A and B are shown apart, each in its own frame.
Chain A
């Protein structure tokens, strides 16, 4: 059966035609986006996550539109098909720079369990560092000299957040004046990886004031206990670990790696300072 006919029949949509085959179609209630899934587990993960995100935070996102029989997806030849809203207007981040922080905070809270923690792999990374001593002595010396600072950056909480979130190549849209999170259909990533990368990206791309607003929004709705683990997950020395891991690979461009590492390390000093401030603010708020 033709795909449009199948969708028409299952979803009760009318006047269907492709706008951009095979992803965007026009219907009697406006444009709709079609997603194709091979793995049912991944599809169900996204289905549950997006529903949960909406119910816990109220953020509109590309949830699965239900069929007439209230099914979230329909089987097709090589997998499954889901139908979503197609939102065209981009969200104005210039006007609301803090929204990215608020969004990421909501997504992380939705992706982790209440006490879902793990440890930063400090010992394992130090062991790996010893392995590069003879191959890259200069880099080794620099990286080992940073251990006191590494330890300082690990003193905010015993643990870091555990869990995964579907936060890669997303886009932020605007629907009826509200933020609309268009999540990609990709596999979820580790919360810590997303947090550290995103915060660093904001730091590089945003004006300082906007960055501060965004960072504040990221931590503002998190309770004190979780806030320390949240901060710890952001300021943990991920760039130090990544650099050591990269140096273990044969044929790495050491100069480029070290340059990138130093750049990130310096940026993280500023971010760590801000994080300390936010922890202090949290304590003050609790005492008040």
Chain B
């Protein structure tokens, strides 16, 4: 990871190397740096570089830029992937609520800076609508199949029992997601407009650090050009704290976001549709069935219950949205 030949390309001679999760902190005479090894494709690397360039042009400063090697490369190829280096930003600053507030403002700022009206095409909108319907229906069908298979049994495992208990509620959320998606589709066709922004792609507090009273986005590996709703939905889901959920906080986040970057009416429908669809709950069922992580049964039950709680919290917010 902190291969000396790799660091040589940055003229870095480490005094201390600390592994911190997926990142390695390199402390040198010239300061501290974060080295991240990852598996990015060429397209993704190009997108990150384009995004950085664009954000610099727009003088958007709330992101941590990638350091270039002395030969001008942004990414360094390693044995099984690529690595990149950024300045280390200590992220310990700020309490969680304060960080969330700043995060929402910066996200709105990022979206606002990069928003672009796309040429309206009914065909394109129709295709994405149908694609989304198809994808969701197939996931829903999988869940129906799963519930049918377990309902035949006399004794259910705690996970299965929890799933069966919440199944009808989940289906209700799916229906609501479909209704809001239909409304989005109708409204877009009527308004004949569609806009895109640079989405961070993994928009949660773990990819955001605060230092010196300012916040910075890190890790643009999943960055993509898409509707702002994509990032906002990701953030809202990740910010809902199960079992101690306060709907007012989420409503305030949306309000704060809109104070910087107003959502269009149809985008609000799309956001509701994204949030209603219980994708992450379905994922936890897949995770349980595959159990690649070899988790104990009870851990899957806890995760599933947590996800259900998040969905219930979101439902609470969306009733007035």
Contacts and interface: CB of A to CB of B under 8 A. Distances in A.
A70 B52 CA distance: 15
Nearest to B77: A58
A29 interface: yes
Contacts of B72: 66, 70, 72
Contacts of A65: 70-71
Nearest to A50: B71
A84 to B, nearest CB: 10
B5 A64 contact: no
Given A51-B71, A63-B71, A65-B71, A29 B4 contact: no
A55 interface: yes
A177 B71 CA distance: 20
Interface residues of A, number: 17
Interface string B1-38: 00111001001000000000000000000000000000
A66 B4 contact: no
B14 to A, nearest CB: 12
A180 to B, nearest CB: 9
B68 interface: yes
A63 B71 CA distance: 7
B68 A175 contact: no
Nearest to B3: A176
Contacts of A63: 71
Contacts of B11: 29-30
A77 B39 CA distance: 45
A60 interface: yes
Contacts of A30: 11
Nearest to A51: B71
Nearest to B10: A29
Interface of A: 29-30, 51, 54-55, 58, 60, 63-66, 70, 72, 175-178
Given A175-B8, A178-B5, 11 more contacts: A29-B11, A55-B77, A58-B77, A60-B8, A63-B71, A70-B72, A72-B72, A175-B5, A176-B4, A176-B5, A176-B8
